[in-house]
Structure 1
């Protein structure tokens, strides 16, 4: 890792995590860790350029088909790739195929940029994530291996105690809050070799009294109606929350803020 790094361009690819859900801006759009990271890098480097090709709900096959070649053609200094987690959360998944597609993506992206960045994604502590943990850890082992073979950096969000805290996650229990995205941006910033702005991003939030039984059950029922049942419905019908949605920043251009 270089120190006092200077990069002039960034392209981020992936799914909802990189799109920025649920870090909501006043106009209803999403910001997220990649936008926050780009803002920091742009403040340091005049003329800094940024593209974000991520679209919510994308599987690794869709990321490879729709985003990888586009990102490689842009030839930026830095490419971030986060994908495969949506696949591991499906009822049935061919992990061999997921590993193969991820390797294909890395093989095409690594030569196209100065620095490829991969991630061990964070997971919200709870029974749902526990069910899929073996698949997730298999994916992360493969990511570590790919990084070693292709000279990529790995940001270990999975190993950060702070990001497993349910308070870092939105009501839908699938996406980080604004504070969670801020900590991810800090993690990537440091991994790229920039001087830390927050040395405690891994530190858990102070403990608070847990909500009462009635409050927890009310929240569970609301969550099931608004998020869980629609999510199950999309899985059963083969639909995705990102169907028909364009990339949030499809062109590599100067970064002028989240609303530019």
Structure 2
């Protein structure tokens, strides 16, 4: 039995989601929600809240945040909410930097997980995705593998649950990714919500939408698509890093306080 379950859902259950764009929901556009996105965490919260009028949900994740920022800005804020469930994914934005000290970063990660676990909450962590199918990001594969082994060890040491994203082969299908090729699509977020709920052993009724048929591009079409991606996604991403700015600058958390999640 999970710590946040007592013969069914605890009516005082509080779920706090921490992290970066992955948890904020980037790629699953919804103009009716804060920051214009929904995402897997919102979907999970909606499922957990069913038949639970007292359920509360906060999402402190902000796109572009690096691991140390997440530890400094979000962990203590989450603990103050006395959560019964915390999810955390941090480190992807660090792995993509030219230089990284993974051991040092994961020491801070470990300290943050210790604080979250000591709060009494069930803590759920993620490994990083295996980018073997990306010609652009596959160079980061070795870094991610090292990061993942340290995350697995930390999860084991603190009794945290683990969503092993690295092993989710369905994400080799580019239809689960957005046009920027960096964030999950709506279908990808829905599938991730199912994966998280499965790890939580929580019943759910979620259907991943039927994916559009794969359309093979000819050489000219592929070149045009790649040029558009370079212009609209890759170049702005590189430019932000050269200028030391983030896509999350000026943004506030979607739900900085506990709220009733949207359905």
Same structural fold, with TM-score higher than 0.5 when normalized by the shorter chain: yes
Does 2:260 correspond to 1:250?
no
CA contact (8 A) 2:127 2:163 kept: yes
Aligned Cα root-mean-square deviation (Å): 2.2
Aligned counterpart, 1:13: 18
* Runs of 4+ more than 6 Å apart: 204-207
Does 2:213 correspond to 1:185?
no
C-alpha distance in 1 between matches for 2:139 and 2:217? 24
Among 93, 97, 101, the residue aligned to 1:90:
97
Among 138, 148, 156, the residue aligned to 1:148:
156
CA contact (8 A) 1:5 1:194 kept: no
CA contact (8 A) 1:122 1:164 kept: no
Aligned counterpart, 2:236: 230
Greater CA drift, 115-124 or 42-51: 115-124
CA contact (8 A) 1:5 1:193 kept: no
Aligned counterpart, 2:86: 79
> How many corresponding residue pairs?
254
Deviations 1:73-120 (A, max 9, x none): 111110001001110011111212221121121111111143000011
CA 1:121–1:5: 2 relative to 1, 3 Å: farther
Among 211, 217, 229, the residue aligned to 1:211:
217
Aligned counterpart, 1:104: 111
Aligned counterpart, 1:41: 48
C-alpha distance in 2 between matches for 1:189 and 1:253? 20
Question: How far does residue 51 in structure 1 lie from its aligned partner after superposition?
Answer: 0.1
Unaligned runs of 5+ in 1: none
TM-score in terms of structure 2 length: 0.90
Unaligned runs of 5+ in 2: none
Question: How far does residue 163 in structure 1 lie from its aligned partner after superposition?
Answer: 1.6
C-alpha distance in 1 between matches for 2:121 and 2:239? 41
TM-score in terms of structure 1 length: 0.91
Question: How far does residue 242 in structure 1 lie from its aligned partner after superposition?
Answer: 0.7
C-alpha distance in 2 between matches for 1:5 and 1:119? 25
Question: How far does residue 5 in structure 1 lie from its aligned partner after superposition?
Answer: 5.3
